[in-house]
Amino acid sequence: MWLVVGLGNPGKKYEHNRHNLGFLAVDAIAGKYHASPWAKKFNGMISEGREARGEEWLYFLKPQTFMNLSGESVAAAARFYKIPPEKILVFYDELDLLPGKLRVKQSGGNGGHNGIKSIDAHMGDNSWRIRLGIGHPGDKDRVSDYVLSDFSKEEWQTQEKMIDAVKEAFPLLIESDTAGFMNKVALILNPPLPSIFPPPLRGRGREGGEDSTSQGKVDHARQLRSNMTDAEKKLWYHLRRENIAGCKFRRQHPLGPYIVDFVCLEKKLILEVDGSQHAEVMIEDAKRTEYLARTGHKVLRFWNNEVMENMEGVLQKIRMELEES
């Protein structure tokens, strides 16, 4: 028996606020299990269902007390169903995680989240917390307005994907496989990239042997693949998928022998992917400066972790740069 809690504020006014991401996630999970219609109980909305094998009852709860008093509703439901804290899953929004990211942990601090503070005050901190990233506005004075505002169109696209992934991976949570749950969510959101290189060509030359030109192209593609990092492969895949301004992969251009880049030929834009945000930035030597001045190319640099963790943000920066050029 599990109590699955989503945190948020009641009423149409708050329905699509960032602070209501917990409600939205639990709505989706309850739908997956064809749970009963929502009913008023425990100062909240309650619904019930069974997991796929029918062995576990699942009770879904959305406290209607407003965020700061969520613990009253959760504690009342837990007492009624005799569900211990370690069998309670709480889904809620997290400022300290980027949109599309999540973390799972049992107990620990409340991170300043008023709903979690209330639950901890009423029944201790031994419940499971599923923190769903909404990002931070960058200024603590803007936090209240930020969490009580609706998602932007772009944010909601990211959150919809996250909610779908959470719904799909949820059975692993009630099997107490939290690591498996997080891994499955990550794989759904960032599936392994399909091969972006053509299969080996089987053409025949005039002498009846392998076509040397075709084979040379295949060998070159294999060499590129072996030299590309995961971040470079991911960026190239998305550039090709989005068909952004004819961007092509090129290694060791005149800017220097250690650069791996993508060149948007139509717009004279060079995209660089570097190893780490903490790595030393390449010295802007005279040759590099002269090349950029002569060709009119502009360089846009991204870090590996930026590409791997925030591809939509990377693509947005590229599109903005291309529109301005």
Question: Which two tokens mark 242?
Answer: 């989005």
Q: Which residues pair with 3 in a beta bridge?
A: 59, 88
Indicate which residue of 19, 113, 238, 297 is catalytic.
Answer: 19
Please choose, from the candidates 97, 126, 8, the residue with its C-alpha nearest in 3D space to the C-alpha of residue 60.
8
> Other CB atoms closer than 10 Å to residue 177's CB: what's the count?
14
Per the CB < 8 A criterion, the answer to whether 143 and 95 are in contact is: yes
Give the pLDDT of residue 259: 42
- The pLDDT of residue 225 is 52
pLDDT of res. 145: 95
Q: What is the pLDDT of residue 60?
A: 98
Contact 80, 42 (CB under 8 A): yes
Q: What is the number of other CB atoms lying within 10 angstroms of the CB of residue 12? A: 6
Whether residue 44 contacts residue 73, with contact meaning beta carbons closer than 8 Å, is answered with yes
The answer to whether the CB of 181 falls within 8 A of the CB of 173 is: yes
Q: Cα-flanking dihedrals φ and ψ of residue 269, to 5°?
A: -115, 130
Q: State the fold for domain 2-189.
A: Rossmann fold (3.40.50)
Third-level CATH fold of 226-324: Endonuclease; Chain A (3.40.960)
CB 26 within 8 A of CB 164: no
**pLDDT of 219:** 57
β-bridge partners, 246: none
The residue assigned the tokens 């290189």 is: 197
Task: Determine the pLDDT at residue 300.
Answer: 77
262 strand-pairing partners: 249, 271
Question: For residue 311, which of 198, 191, 185, 227 has the smallest C-alpha distance?
Answer: 191
CB 273, CB 285: distance < 8 Å: no
Backbone angles phi and psi of 20, in degrees to 5: -100, 15
Question: What pLDDT does 14 receive?
Answer: 95
**Active-site annotation holds for 19:** yes
Rounded Cα distance, 159 and 176, in Å: 24
Which pLDDT score is estimated for 88? 96
How far is it, in rounded angstroms, from Cα 186 to Cα 5?
A: 22
* Residue 291 burial (C-beta neighbours within 10 Å; 0-12, 13-18, 19+): middle
Distance in angstroms (rounded) separating the CA atoms of residues 322 and 298: 10
User: What per-residue confidence (pLDDT) applies to 17?
Assistant: 96
Which pTM was predicted?
A: 0.62
Cβ proximity of 247 and 264 under 8 Å: yes
The domain locations on the chain are: 2-189, 226-324
Selection from 10, 119, 118 nearest residue 64 by Cα: 10
Rounded to whole angstroms, the Cα distance separating 195 from 311 reads 18
Sign of CA dihedral 58, 30, 167, 310: negative
Largest CA distance in the chain: 83
Residues in the chain with pLDDT values less than 70: 54, 192-228, 242-268, 274-292, 295, 325
Bridge partner list, 271: 262, 300
